[in-house]
Amino acid sequence: MGKSRRVWFEEAGGMLDPGLISQLRQLRKEGADEQKTGLPVIVRWKDRTDRKEREEALRICEGGSCDSVFGELSMSASFYGQLSPGTIDSLKDHKAVSKIYFDREVQALLDVASKSVGAVDVREHEGLSGKGVTIAVLDTGIHPHDDLTKPEERISGFADLVGEKQDPYDDQGHGTHCAGDAAGNGHLSEGLYTGPASEANVVGVKVLDKEGGGRLSTVIRGVEWCIQHREELDIRVISLSLGAPAFESYRDDPLAQACEAAWHSGIVVCAAAGNQGPYPGTISTPGIDPVIITVGSADDQDTIERGDDEKAPYSSRGPTLDLLVKPDIYAPGTNIISLSVPDSPLEEELPENRVGDYYISLSGTSMATPVCAGVVALMLEANPRLSPNDVKSILKSTAAEMEGDQAGYIDSRRAVDLAKKYLQFQQPFAPVKG
């Protein structure tokens, strides 16, 4: 008896990522017309391909009725769009194409919190509040909440890659909460609900829609936007409270690679571990990348004392697909009270979580990540010469032990103290940017 012939996408080897193969298999199972059904994809170019070869490949993408090229992802040498299975089949063998990915969906994954990580102590004894440091929050947008705009305007930039609007807004609520987790100043709560970096500037980059979802390509564009505007807006930290299932090594993951590019450009990248715990092997992308800071969520039990803190059961665990230890650090992420957007979908979905008229309580690694980003802002205020690698090393080496985990619980006081000590070695070599 002869062997049955495998379908074309199962014979493509490494040219198609597992997520795309899964989608193609599902379409085949449903009996969909492979010339009339479009799938969102990211296509990566091979190194050292010339313009003529790329234009030839792009012409293949113009052949079908449902084929469209939406744009370029310049820093990852890719383009994104919608292609039919038939076009993907033709494109996978082109000499200019390195790999084709399914453009997967990405989902959005402080009173006591700021005290439990030591941020209030740093503010009171060191006079540090993140002033002069800018944090970019890539999420559902940012609402001009009074805790970010009074007594001074601290929303220093905004980019809308979803609706292309000019003025800051958040039609879901998640991004505003995250911005407050990092940099809220408690203006409407008499200083009660504050983030660690209560005087830091924030830049809102809207990459998720009003449902809290989006595509890998949009998040990658957001990261690229931050790199392009790093000097203009003085962006030192990116906070990513979002993620998608990881199907491949970080070396082949386009979002992980974009975050690495940001890191190597001088921006500290903090990414959520994910909320698929307590099961092992559940770290989402881009948190799978070994270079960036992956943040897990701790439950501080609504107390300032450290003795009762523990890993939140929902917080994703490692190892990654590359068998790497993740997360890198834990920060408070359970029952975090932060900024709310009036009449937002988040308020309508969780009315019982509202705290007064201006705040809402949420849990997840989505909350832990901007708390970590806020602590990073304190470190950079204390020592602007720190590189991203310096920041990560200091955070990990000063963290308090978490039972049963190699990653520790973030300690802003010890991290700031060590950041300052680095100055004695850096001062003769690198002038502070004026």
- 113 and 243 belong to one structural domain: yes
- Structure tokens belonging to residue 222: 């957001």
User: Is residue 4 situated within a structural domain?
Assistant: no
pLDDT in tens, 138-184: 999 999 999 999 999 999 999 999 999 999 999 999 999 999 999 99
User: Is residue 150 situated within a structural domain?
Assistant: yes
Q: Looking at the predicted structure, is the pLDDT value of residue 111 above 90?
A: no
Cα separation of 352 and 346, whole Å?
A: 11
User: Is residue 357 situated within a structural domain?
Assistant: yes
- 326 and 387 belong to one structural domain: yes
Residue 145 a catalytic site member: no
- Structure tokens belonging to residue 150: 């009074």
Q: Looking at the predicted structure, is the pLDDT value of residue 116 above 80?
A: no
pLDDT in tens, 63-73: 777 889 999 99
Contact partners, residue 332, CB within 8 Å, separation at least 6:
112, 113, 116, 117, 297, 298, 299, 300, 367, 368, 371
- 180 and 194 belong to one structural domain: yes
Residue 174 a catalytic site member: yes
Residue 177 a catalytic site member: no
- Structure tokens belonging to residue 303: 């107390």
- 24 and 173 belong to one structural domain: no
- Range(s) of the domain holding residue 256: 106-426
User: Which of 174, 241, 297, 328 is an active site residue?
Assistant: 174
Using CB atoms within 10 A of its CB, is residue 51 exposed (0-12), middle (13-18) or buried (19+)? exposed
User: Which of 239, 316, 366, 412 is an active site residue?
Assistant: 366
Listed residue (332, 273, 337, 329) closest to 300, CA to CA = 332
Tell which of 103, 119, 149 closes a domain: 103
Check which CATH number belongs to the domain holding 58 and give it.
Answer: 3.30.70.80
Identify any residues that bridge with 270 across adjacent strands, giving them in sequence order. Answer: 239, 293
> H or E segment at 122?
helix 119-126
Confidence of residue 306 (pLDDT cuts 50, 70, 90): low
Contact 102, 17 (CB under 8 A): yes
- 260 and 406 belong to one structural domain: yes
- 350 and 211 belong to one structural domain: yes
pLDDT in tens, 59-98: 999 877 788 999 999 888 999 999 999 999 999 999 999 9
Tell which of 79, 103, 127 closes a domain: 103
Domain count for the chain, please give it: 2
**Which amino acid is it at 423?**
L
**Which amino acid is it at 40?**
P
Cα separation of 227 and 250, whole Å?
A: 20
- 218 and 296 belong to one structural domain: yes
User: Is residue 46 situated within a structural domain?
Assistant: yes
User: Which of 67, 103, 111, 139 is an active site residue?
Assistant: 139
Check which CATH number belongs to the domain holding 148 and give it.
Answer: 3.40.50.200
Whole-model pTM: value is: 0.91
pLDDT higher at 285 or 405: 285
